[in-house]
Amino acid sequence: MSGDNPAIHILPAPLPTAWPEPTVGAVALLAAGSTIAQAAVVTTPSPWRAVQPMLTARPARQLIIASNHRSALDRAAQDLSGPPTLVGIGGGLAMDAAKYIAKVNRQKLIQLPGSAANNACFTRTAWVMDGETRTAERNCPIPDAVLVVPELIAAAPDRLNRAGFAEILCSHTALFDWSLGHEAGHDVQWDEGLRGLARAQLAALDTLAPGVAAGELSAFLEIVTISARFAPGFASHPKARFNAGSEHIFAWALEAASGGTVLHGEAVGLGTVLMALLQDNDPARAAQLARSAGLPLRPEAMGASWAMVEGLAPALAARAAASDWYTVLNALGERLESAFVDAMPRLRALIEDTEARTEPALAAPISAGSGSDANARGPAPFCS
Ligand SMILES: [Zn+2]
Protein backbone atom coordinates (compact mmCIF):
# COMPACT_ATOMS: atom_id res chain seq x y z
CA MET A 1 0.00 0.00 0.00
CA SER A 2 2.95 2.31 0.52
CA GLY A 3 3.25 5.08 -1.98
CA ASP A 4 7.01 4.65 -1.73
CA ASN A 5 6.97 1.38 -3.64
CA PRO A 6 7.56 2.24 -7.29
CA ALA A 7 6.21 -1.17 -8.32
CA ILE A 8 2.67 -0.15 -7.39
CA HIS A 9 2.78 3.45 -8.50
CA ILE A 10 -0.12 4.36 -10.68
CA LEU A 11 0.92 6.84 -13.34
CA PRO A 12 -1.14 10.00 -13.06
CA ALA A 13 -3.77 10.34 -15.72
CA PRO A 14 -3.44 13.42 -17.92
CA LEU A 15 -4.46 16.43 -15.83
CA PRO A 16 -8.09 17.41 -16.36
CA THR A 17 -8.76 20.43 -18.54
CA ALA A 18 -12.42 20.90 -17.65
CA TRP A 19 -13.86 21.47 -14.19
CA PRO A 20 -15.56 18.44 -12.68
CA GLU A 21 -19.10 18.72 -11.40
CA PRO A 22 -18.93 18.57 -7.60
CA THR A 23 -19.86 15.11 -6.37
CA VAL A 24 -22.21 15.42 -3.43
CA GLY A 25 -22.72 12.65 -0.94
CA ALA A 26 -20.91 10.43 1.52
CA VAL A 27 -21.17 7.50 -0.90
CA ALA A 28 -18.80 9.31 -3.19
CA LEU A 29 -16.27 9.57 -0.42
CA LEU A 30 -16.54 5.89 0.43
CA ALA A 31 -16.15 5.01 -3.22
CA ALA A 32 -12.98 7.05 -3.13
CA GLY A 33 -11.62 4.70 -0.46
CA SER A 34 -9.39 2.87 -2.89
CA THR A 35 -8.10 6.22 -4.09
CA ILE A 36 -7.48 7.38 -0.53
CA ALA A 37 -5.25 4.36 0.12
CA GLN A 38 -3.00 5.46 -2.72
CA ALA A 39 -3.19 9.14 -1.91
CA ALA A 40 -1.40 11.71 0.15
CA VAL A 41 -3.68 13.85 2.29
CA VAL A 42 -3.06 17.45 3.35
CA THR A 43 -5.49 18.74 5.94
CA THR A 44 -5.94 20.67 9.20
CA PRO A 45 -6.94 19.26 12.61
CA SER A 46 -10.72 19.81 12.80
CA PRO A 47 -11.73 18.70 9.29
CA TRP A 48 -9.38 15.73 9.65
CA ARG A 49 -11.10 14.70 12.91
CA ALA A 50 -14.48 14.99 11.20
CA VAL A 51 -13.58 13.06 8.06
CA GLN A 52 -11.52 10.21 9.51
CA PRO A 53 -14.49 8.04 10.59
CA MET A 54 -15.87 8.25 7.04
CA LEU A 55 -12.77 6.93 5.32
CA THR A 56 -12.68 3.30 4.29
CA ALA A 57 -8.90 3.23 4.13
CA ARG A 58 -5.95 5.09 5.56
CA PRO A 59 -4.12 7.40 3.20
CA ALA A 60 -0.62 6.43 2.10
CA ARG A 61 0.67 9.72 3.53
CA GLN A 62 -0.97 12.39 5.63
CA LEU A 63 0.15 15.80 6.79
CA ILE A 64 -1.43 18.46 9.01
CA ILE A 65 -0.50 21.80 7.48
CA ALA A 66 -0.16 24.87 9.71
CA SER A 67 1.30 27.53 7.45
CA ASN A 68 1.08 28.78 3.89
CA HIS A 69 4.64 30.10 3.85
CA ARG A 70 6.44 28.85 0.76
CA SER A 71 9.13 27.09 2.76
CA ALA A 72 6.50 25.13 4.71
CA LEU A 73 4.63 24.24 1.53
CA ASP A 74 7.80 23.12 -0.23
CA ARG A 75 8.64 20.89 2.76
CA ALA A 76 5.09 19.51 2.66
CA ALA A 77 5.40 18.83 -1.07
CA GLN A 78 8.53 16.82 -0.40
CA ASP A 79 6.88 14.87 2.44
CA LEU A 80 3.82 14.10 0.33
CA SER A 81 5.56 13.23 -2.92
CA GLY A 82 5.29 9.66 -4.16
CA PRO A 83 1.58 8.88 -4.13
CA PRO A 84 -0.01 9.75 -7.48
CA THR A 85 -2.96 11.57 -5.91
CA LEU A 86 -3.06 14.49 -3.50
CA VAL A 87 -6.24 15.00 -1.48
CA GLY A 88 -6.95 18.31 0.26
CA ILE A 89 -9.43 18.19 3.14
CA GLY A 90 -10.57 21.35 4.94
CA GLY A 91 -10.76 25.08 4.36
CA GLY A 92 -8.76 27.73 2.57
CA LEU A 93 -5.41 26.74 4.09
CA ALA A 94 -5.78 23.03 3.24
CA MET A 95 -7.30 23.66 -0.21
CA ASP A 96 -4.57 26.12 -1.19
CA ALA A 97 -1.83 23.88 0.20
CA ALA A 98 -3.26 20.96 -1.79
CA LYS A 99 -3.30 23.04 -4.98
CA TYR A 100 0.29 24.16 -4.46
CA ILE A 101 1.60 20.69 -3.58
CA ALA A 102 -0.24 18.99 -6.47
CA LYS A 103 1.27 21.55 -8.83
CA VAL A 104 4.82 21.09 -7.50
CA ASN A 105 4.56 17.28 -7.44
CA ARG A 106 2.46 17.00 -10.62
CA GLN A 107 -0.07 14.95 -8.67
CA LYS A 108 -3.71 14.36 -9.42
CA LEU A 109 -5.81 16.60 -7.16
CA ILE A 110 -8.97 15.77 -5.22
CA GLN A 111 -10.53 18.38 -2.95
CA LEU A 112 -12.94 17.88 -0.03
CA PRO A 113 -14.14 21.28 1.20
CA GLY A 114 -14.63 21.27 4.97
CA SER A 115 -17.30 23.95 4.95
CA ALA A 116 -19.23 26.25 2.65
CA ALA A 117 -17.15 29.18 3.91
CA ASN A 118 -14.99 29.66 0.89
CA ASN A 119 -14.61 28.65 -2.71
CA ALA A 120 -10.89 27.87 -2.71
CA CYS A 121 -11.58 24.38 -4.07
CA PHE A 122 -13.02 25.96 -7.23
CA THR A 123 -10.09 28.17 -8.20
CA ARG A 124 -6.68 27.44 -9.69
CA THR A 125 -4.87 30.00 -7.53
CA ALA A 126 -3.12 29.15 -4.26
CA TRP A 127 -2.15 32.01 -1.96
CA VAL A 128 1.40 31.62 -0.68
CA MET A 129 3.39 33.80 1.72
CA ASP A 130 6.85 34.82 0.55
CA GLY A 131 8.08 36.45 3.73
CA GLU A 132 5.46 39.14 4.38
CA THR A 133 4.24 39.20 0.78
CA ARG A 134 1.11 37.37 -0.26
CA THR A 135 1.80 35.82 -3.66
CA ALA A 136 -0.65 34.25 -6.09
CA GLU A 137 0.53 30.84 -7.25
CA ARG A 138 -1.53 30.52 -10.39
CA ASN A 139 -2.32 27.67 -12.77
CA CYS A 140 -2.54 25.02 -10.10
CA PRO A 141 -4.10 21.82 -11.41
CA ILE A 142 -7.82 21.61 -12.02
CA PRO A 143 -9.03 19.00 -9.51
CA ASP A 144 -9.89 15.55 -10.74
CA ALA A 145 -12.84 15.66 -8.36
CA VAL A 146 -14.42 17.94 -5.79
CA LEU A 147 -16.13 15.75 -3.23
CA VAL A 148 -18.78 17.54 -1.22
CA VAL A 149 -19.57 15.49 1.87
CA PRO A 150 -22.71 16.77 3.61
CA GLU A 151 -21.65 15.28 6.96
CA LEU A 152 -18.41 17.23 6.75
CA ILE A 153 -20.16 20.52 5.90
CA ALA A 154 -22.66 19.85 8.71
CA ALA A 155 -19.80 19.34 11.17
CA ALA A 156 -18.50 22.87 10.55
CA PRO A 157 -19.89 25.68 12.72
CA ASP A 158 -22.95 27.39 11.21
CA ARG A 159 -21.24 30.76 11.29
CA LEU A 160 -18.43 29.43 9.14
CA ASN A 161 -20.81 27.94 6.57
CA ARG A 162 -22.94 31.11 6.62
CA ALA A 163 -19.89 33.21 5.71
CA GLY A 164 -19.86 31.43 2.34
CA PHE A 165 -23.01 33.36 1.40
CA ALA A 166 -20.86 36.48 1.02
CA GLU A 167 -18.78 34.72 -1.63
CA ILE A 168 -21.83 34.87 -3.88
CA LEU A 169 -23.14 38.24 -2.64
CA CYS A 170 -19.80 39.80 -3.61
CA SER A 171 -20.81 39.58 -7.28
CA HIS A 172 -23.09 42.57 -6.48
CA THR A 173 -20.07 44.89 -6.34
CA ALA A 174 -17.69 42.78 -8.46
CA LEU A 175 -19.97 42.98 -11.50
CA PHE A 176 -20.11 46.76 -11.10
CA ASP A 177 -16.29 46.94 -10.93
CA TRP A 178 -16.01 44.66 -13.95
CA SER A 179 -18.29 46.97 -15.90
CA LEU A 180 -16.23 50.02 -14.81
CA GLY A 181 -13.07 48.34 -16.11
CA HIS A 182 -14.76 47.40 -19.36
CA GLU A 183 -16.07 50.93 -19.92
CA ALA A 184 -12.66 52.41 -19.09
CA GLY A 185 -11.15 50.34 -21.90
CA HIS A 186 -9.18 47.86 -19.80
CA ASP A 187 -8.65 44.27 -20.91
CA VAL A 188 -11.08 42.64 -18.47
CA GLN A 189 -12.25 39.71 -20.62
CA TRP A 190 -15.77 41.11 -20.79
CA ASP A 191 -18.24 38.32 -21.38
CA GLU A 192 -22.03 38.66 -21.46
CA GLY A 193 -22.54 34.97 -20.71
CA LEU A 194 -20.50 35.11 -17.51
CA ARG A 195 -22.21 38.35 -16.51
CA GLY A 196 -25.58 36.70 -16.99
CA LEU A 197 -24.50 33.69 -14.94
CA ALA A 198 -23.35 35.84 -12.03
CA ARG A 199 -26.50 37.99 -12.16
CA ALA A 200 -28.67 34.88 -12.05
CA GLN A 201 -26.87 33.61 -8.93
CA LEU A 202 -27.33 37.02 -7.30
CA ALA A 203 -31.03 37.00 -8.11
CA ALA A 204 -31.40 33.64 -6.37
CA LEU A 205 -29.99 34.94 -3.08
CA ASP A 206 -33.36 36.20 -1.80
CA THR A 207 -34.57 32.62 -1.82
CA LEU A 208 -31.36 31.21 -0.37
CA ALA A 209 -30.86 33.72 2.47
CA PRO A 210 -33.44 32.46 5.02
CA GLY A 211 -32.13 28.88 4.91
CA VAL A 212 -28.59 30.17 5.38
CA ALA A 213 -29.67 32.27 8.37
CA ALA A 214 -31.47 29.26 9.86
CA GLY A 215 -28.40 27.05 9.48
CA GLU A 216 -30.04 24.59 7.08
CA LEU A 217 -27.59 22.10 5.59
CA SER A 218 -29.37 22.19 2.22
CA ALA A 219 -28.76 25.94 2.03
CA PHE A 220 -25.07 25.50 2.85
CA LEU A 221 -24.78 22.83 0.16
CA GLU A 222 -26.46 25.22 -2.29
CA ILE A 223 -23.72 27.78 -1.53
CA VAL A 224 -21.14 25.18 -2.60
CA THR A 225 -23.15 24.34 -5.71
CA ILE A 226 -23.34 28.00 -6.74
CA SER A 227 -19.61 28.42 -6.15
CA ALA A 228 -19.04 25.42 -8.42
CA ARG A 229 -20.94 27.15 -11.22
CA PHE A 230 -18.35 29.92 -11.18
CA ALA A 231 -15.38 27.55 -11.38
CA PRO A 232 -15.14 27.27 -15.19
CA GLY A 233 -15.29 31.07 -15.48
CA PHE A 234 -12.48 31.52 -12.94
CA ALA A 235 -10.31 29.27 -15.09
CA SER A 236 -11.27 30.62 -18.53
CA HIS A 237 -11.57 34.33 -17.62
CA PRO A 238 -8.96 35.13 -14.95
CA LYS A 239 -9.18 38.87 -15.67
CA ALA A 240 -12.98 38.99 -15.42
CA ARG A 241 -14.24 40.48 -12.17
CA PHE A 242 -17.61 38.74 -12.01
CA ASN A 243 -17.16 37.32 -8.50
CA ALA A 244 -14.41 39.33 -6.80
CA GLY A 245 -13.64 43.03 -6.98
CA SER A 246 -13.21 45.99 -4.65
CA GLU A 247 -15.12 44.25 -1.82
CA HIS A 248 -12.37 41.60 -1.76
CA ILE A 249 -9.63 44.22 -1.72
CA PHE A 250 -11.42 45.72 1.31
CA ALA A 251 -11.81 42.30 2.92
CA TRP A 252 -8.13 41.44 2.57
CA ALA A 253 -7.20 44.84 4.05
CA LEU A 254 -9.56 44.28 7.01
CA GLU A 255 -8.31 40.73 7.54
CA ALA A 256 -4.72 41.99 7.59
CA ALA A 257 -5.57 44.84 9.98
CA SER A 258 -7.29 42.40 12.34
CA GLY A 259 -4.31 40.08 12.35
CA GLY A 260 -6.32 37.38 10.60
CA THR A 261 -9.04 37.07 13.24
CA VAL A 262 -11.91 38.29 11.02
CA LEU A 263 -13.63 35.58 8.98
CA HIS A 264 -12.99 36.11 5.29
CA GLY A 265 -16.65 35.83 4.25
CA GLU A 266 -17.83 38.23 6.96
CA ALA A 267 -15.24 40.80 5.85
CA VAL A 268 -16.39 40.30 2.26
CA GLY A 269 -20.02 40.87 3.33
CA LEU A 270 -19.18 44.19 4.98
CA GLY A 271 -16.95 45.07 2.05
CA THR A 272 -19.80 44.48 -0.37
CA VAL A 273 -22.06 46.91 1.49
CA LEU A 274 -19.32 49.55 1.77
CA MET A 275 -18.18 49.26 -1.84
CA ALA A 276 -21.81 49.36 -3.04
CA LEU A 277 -22.02 52.71 -1.21
CA LEU A 278 -18.88 53.98 -2.97
CA GLN A 279 -20.26 52.71 -6.28
CA ASP A 280 -23.70 54.22 -5.64
CA ASN A 281 -24.90 50.72 -6.53
CA ASP A 282 -27.96 49.84 -4.41
CA PRO A 283 -26.12 49.41 -1.10
CA ALA A 284 -29.44 48.85 0.69
CA ARG A 285 -30.01 45.63 -1.26
CA ALA A 286 -26.52 44.34 -0.45
CA ALA A 287 -27.04 45.11 3.24
CA GLN A 288 -30.52 43.58 3.32
CA LEU A 289 -29.32 40.36 1.69
CA ALA A 290 -26.35 40.04 4.04
CA ARG A 291 -28.55 40.69 7.04
CA SER A 292 -31.29 38.30 5.98
CA ALA A 293 -28.68 35.54 5.58
CA GLY A 294 -27.55 36.15 9.16
CA LEU A 295 -24.19 37.69 8.29
CA PRO A 296 -22.94 40.20 10.86
CA LEU A 297 -22.48 43.70 9.47
CA ARG A 298 -21.11 45.60 12.44
CA PRO A 299 -17.32 45.40 12.61
CA GLU A 300 -17.44 44.67 16.35
CA ALA A 301 -19.68 41.64 15.66
CA MET A 302 -16.95 40.12 13.48
CA GLY A 303 -13.97 40.72 15.76
CA ALA A 304 -12.98 44.10 14.29
CA SER A 305 -13.93 47.66 15.24
CA TRP A 306 -15.21 50.80 13.57
CA ALA A 307 -11.87 52.46 14.26
CA MET A 308 -10.14 49.63 12.41
CA VAL A 309 -12.49 49.99 9.41
CA GLU A 310 -12.23 53.78 9.39
CA GLY A 311 -8.45 53.53 9.37
CA LEU A 312 -8.33 51.39 6.24
CA ALA A 313 -8.38 54.15 3.61
CA PRO A 314 -4.58 54.37 3.12
CA ALA A 315 -4.26 50.57 2.97
CA LEU A 316 -7.07 50.39 0.43
CA ALA A 317 -5.45 53.04 -1.75
CA ALA A 318 -2.14 51.17 -1.60
CA ARG A 319 -3.75 47.83 -2.41
CA ALA A 320 -5.74 49.30 -5.29
CA ALA A 321 -2.62 50.88 -6.75
CA ALA A 322 -0.69 47.62 -6.49
CA SER A 323 -3.48 45.44 -7.89
CA ASP A 324 -3.87 44.58 -11.56
CA TRP A 325 -7.64 44.69 -11.08
CA TYR A 326 -9.60 47.80 -12.10
CA THR A 327 -12.30 48.62 -9.54
CA VAL A 328 -14.19 51.57 -8.11
CA LEU A 329 -11.12 52.17 -5.94
CA ASN A 330 -9.11 52.98 -9.08
CA ALA A 331 -11.98 54.91 -10.64
CA LEU A 332 -12.13 57.19 -7.57
CA GLY A 333 -8.40 57.89 -7.94
CA GLU A 334 -7.25 60.71 -5.70
CA ARG A 335 -10.77 61.12 -4.33
CA LEU A 336 -10.66 57.63 -2.79
CA GLU A 337 -9.62 58.57 0.73
CA SER A 338 -12.10 61.46 1.05
CA ALA A 339 -14.90 59.35 -0.48
CA PHE A 340 -14.09 56.59 1.99
CA VAL A 341 -14.24 58.97 4.96
CA ASP A 342 -17.53 60.43 3.67
CA ALA A 343 -19.00 56.94 3.31
CA MET A 344 -18.38 55.94 6.94
CA PRO A 345 -21.36 57.72 8.58
CA ARG A 346 -23.58 56.53 5.73
CA LEU A 347 -22.35 52.97 6.26
CA ARG A 348 -23.15 53.12 9.98
CA ALA A 349 -26.61 54.56 9.29
CA LEU A 350 -27.33 51.94 6.62
CA ILE A 351 -26.34 49.09 8.93
CA GLU A 352 -28.50 50.48 11.75
CA ASP A 353 -31.42 50.90 9.38
CA THR A 354 -31.00 47.41 7.93
CA GLU A 355 -30.83 45.85 11.37
CA ALA A 356 -34.02 47.66 12.34
CA ARG A 357 -35.90 46.54 9.23
CA THR A 358 -34.69 42.98 8.75
CA GLU A 359 -34.99 39.99 11.05
CA PRO A 360 -32.18 39.73 13.59
CA ALA A 361 -29.21 37.70 12.45
CA LEU A 362 -29.00 34.24 13.91
CA ALA A 363 -25.23 34.18 13.95
CA ALA A 364 -23.74 32.52 17.00
CA PRO A 365 -20.17 32.90 18.17
CA ILE A 366 -17.77 30.46 16.57
CA SER A 367 -17.53 27.48 18.88
CA ALA A 368 -14.29 25.85 19.75
CA GLY A 369 -15.71 22.69 18.23
CA SER A 370 -14.99 20.97 15.00
CA GLY A 371 -14.09 22.90 11.94
CA SER A 372 -13.40 26.20 13.58
CA ASP A 373 -9.65 26.21 13.31
CA ALA A 374 -9.06 25.92 9.66
CA ASN A 375 -12.17 25.95 7.58
CA ALA A 376 -11.98 29.62 6.90
CA ARG A 377 -8.83 30.83 8.58
CA GLY A 378 -5.47 30.87 6.97
CA PRO A 379 -5.05 32.24 3.50
CA ALA A 380 -8.18 33.79 2.14
CA PRO A 381 -9.55 32.13 -0.92
CA PHE A 382 -8.73 34.02 -4.03
CA CYS A 383 -12.22 33.85 -5.46
CA SER A 384 -11.05 34.28 -9.00
ZN1 LIG B 1 -13.59 35.40 -1.16
Domains in the chain: ranges and CATH:
6-155 (3.40.50.1970), 158-357 (1.20.1090.10)
CA of 356 from ligand 1 middle (Å) equals: 27
The pLDDT tens digits for 88-107 are 999 999 999 999 999 999 99
* Entry pTM: 0.87
Ligand 1 midpoint to CA 58 (Å)? 32
Between the CA of 268 and the centroid of ligand 1 the distance, in Å, is 7
Distance 115 CA to ligand 1 centre (A): 14
pLDDT in tens, 241-298: 999 999 999 999 999 999 989 999 999 999 999 999 999 999 999 999 999 999 999 9
Q: Can you tell me the distance from the alpha carbon of 316 to that of 311, in angstroms, rounded to the nearest whole number?
A: 10
In tens, the pLDDT along 69-85 reads 999 999 999 999 999 99
Predicted local confidence at residue 34, as pLDDT: 62
Q: What is the mean pLDDT of residues 118-134?
A: 89
Q: Residue 17 CB: number of other CB atoms within 10 A?
A: 7
Mean predicted lDDT score pLDDT of the chain: 87
* Ligand 1 center to 17 CA (angstroms): 23
| 7 CA → ligand 1 middle, Å | 42
pLDDT of res. 4: 34
Ligand 1 midpoint to CA 384 (Å): 8
* Helix/strand/coil for 161: helix
- Rounded to the nearest angstrom, the distance between the alpha carbon of 349 and the centre of ligand 1 is 25
% of the chain beyond a pLDDT of 90: 73
Amino acid identity of residue 116, one-letter, is: A
Q: Choose from 5-19, 139-153, 209-223 the range with maximum mean pLDDT.
A: 209-223
pLDDT per residue as tens digits for the range 308-343: 999 999 999 999 999 989 999 999 999 999 999 999
Report d(CA 200, CA 218) in Å as an integer.
19
Beta strand pairing call for 126-130 and 133-137: antiparallel
Of 125, 121, 201, the C-alpha closest to 376 is: 121
Of 287, 285, 254, 274, nearest to 380 (Cα)? Answer: 254
Find the 91 Cα to ligand 1 centroid distance in Å.
12
Distance between Cα 297 and ligand 1 center (Å): 16
How far is ligand 1, taken at its centre, from the CA of residue 165, in Å?
10
- As a whole number of angstroms, the distance between CA 296 and CA 304 comes to 11
What is the average pLDDT across 43-47?
95
289 CA distance to ligand 1 centroid (A)?
Answer: 17
Categorize the per-residue pLDDT at 344 as very low, low, confident or very high, splitting at 50, 70 and 90. Answer: very high
